[in-house]
Amino acid sequence: MTTERATHWDNAYANGDTTRSWYQPSPTTSLRLLEEAAISPAVGLIDVGGGASTLVDALLVRGHTDLTVLDVSAHGLDLARDRLRSRADSVTWIVTDLLSWVPTRRYAVWHDRAVFHFLTDPVETERYRSVLSEALEPGGLAMVGAFATDGPTHCSGLEVARYDGPTLAEQAAPGCDVVTELREEHHTPSGGVQPFTWVVLRRPVGHAE
Ligand SMILES: C[S@@+](CC[C@H](N)C(=O)[O-])C[C@H]1O[C@@H](n2cnc3c(N)ncnc32)[C@H](O)[C@@H]1O
């Protein structure tokens, strides 16, 4: 499955990222959530399924010094690295399937825009929760954006799950406290509108595991 998934997503990025439905020139909502949570640029932040996202560019501008971008698509990450040129050297890039990843450290912030909703099999959502739990520091924040209940049923040719805030919180990171929940209407490059649900979740300091 890992190879199949990598091939699928490498193909999705074959003609670049700027015409893909999920592309956003500026990751406005993610930046707003980081500001509202007063996230220091010094803390460890991982963007899971970051692909070619412009979030990493914006975070470097924000002064972040401990950034990791993980994606199953080497091609997606190459697009980001090529765009950043030498600035890419200060970022840790991990090419792997999130579901088979074994984190070797913890992060203060876990960011996921439009990855969790591709997991439609309960075994995969369980694995996601387990990896998140291994990777997120106690007291850390998970920011997860997924299609809203009235959002698209498919993306990139794949079926997706759709979420309201409480369900997204419970499914992505049970046991964490909900800090923020909001709705975003993402405008695709082709002029469509895709409603997203975002949650910001805090892992309790005394959380077991
Ligand atoms: C819809 S795109 C969103 C990309 C990026 N987060 C953004 O907002 O622009 C989904 C991304 O998740 C990656 N992805 C999907 N399943 C994954 C998995 N199991 N492990 C790691 N990356 C995955 C894809 O390669 C792709 O880059």
CA–centroid distance, residue 51 to ligand 1 (Å): 6
**Closest-lying ligand 1 atom to the alpha carbon of residue 9:** 25
CA–centroid distance, residue 125 to ligand 1 (Å): 15
The answer, yes or no, to whether residue 183 has pLDDT greater than 60, is yes
The pocket around ligand 1, CB under 6 angstroms, is made up of: 5, 9, 22, 49-51, 53, 71-73, 76, 97-99, 113-115, 118, 155
Region 107-121 average pLDDT: 98
Position 206 scores a pLDDT of: 78
CB atoms within 10 A of CB 96: 14
Question: Sign of the C-alpha dihedral, residues 44, 10, 120, 161?
Answer: positive
Question: Sign of the C-alpha dihedral, residues 143, 148, 154, 159?
Answer: positive
Residues facing residue 72 across a β-bridge: none
pLDDT digits (tens, 9 = 90+) for 22-80: 999 999 999 999 999 999 999 999 999 999 999 999 999 999 999 999 999 999 999 99
Locus of tokens 């998970």:
142
Position 2 scores a pLDDT of: 67
Q: At what angle do helices 165-172 and 122-135 cross, to 10 degrees?
A: 70
CA–centroid distance, residue 206 to ligand 1 (Å): 30
- The b-or-e profile of 114-133 (16+ CB within 10 A means b, else e) is bbbbbbeeeeebebbbebbb
Nearest alpha-carbon partner for 7 in 76, 78, 70, 68: 76
Position 1 scores a pLDDT of: 52
Region 10-14 average pLDDT: 97
The pTM of the full predicted model, rounded to 2 decimals, is 0.97
CA–centroid distance, residue 48 to ligand 1 (Å): 7
**Contacts of residue 122, Cβ cutoff 8 Å, sequence gap at least 6:** none
Ligand 1 pocket: which of 71, 100, 143 to mutate (most atoms within 8 A of CB): 71
Domains, the chain, with CATH or none = 2-202 (3.40.50.150)
Task: Name the average pLDDT for the chain.
Answer: 96
**Contacts of residue 9, Cβ cutoff 8 Å, sequence gap at least 6:** 51, 71, 72, 73, 75, 76, 156
Position 207 scores a pLDDT of: 53
Rounded Cα distance, 57 and 158, in Å: 27
Residues facing residue 67 across a β-bridge: 45, 91
CA–centroid distance, residue 115 to ligand 1 (Å): 5
Residues facing residue 177 across a β-bridge: 202
The answer, yes or no, to whether residue 194 has pLDDT greater than 80, is yes
CB 47 within 8 A of CB 53: yes
Rounded Cα distance, 107 and 109, in Å: 5
The answer, yes or no, to whether residue 209 has pLDDT greater than 60, is no
Task: State what percent of residues in the chain have pLDDT above 90.
Answer: 97
pLDDT digits (tens, 9 = 90+) for 123-167: 999 999 999 999 999 999 999 999 999 999 999 999 999 999 999
Tally the C-alpha atoms within 13 A of residue 129's C-alpha that lie toward its C-beta.
Answer: 16
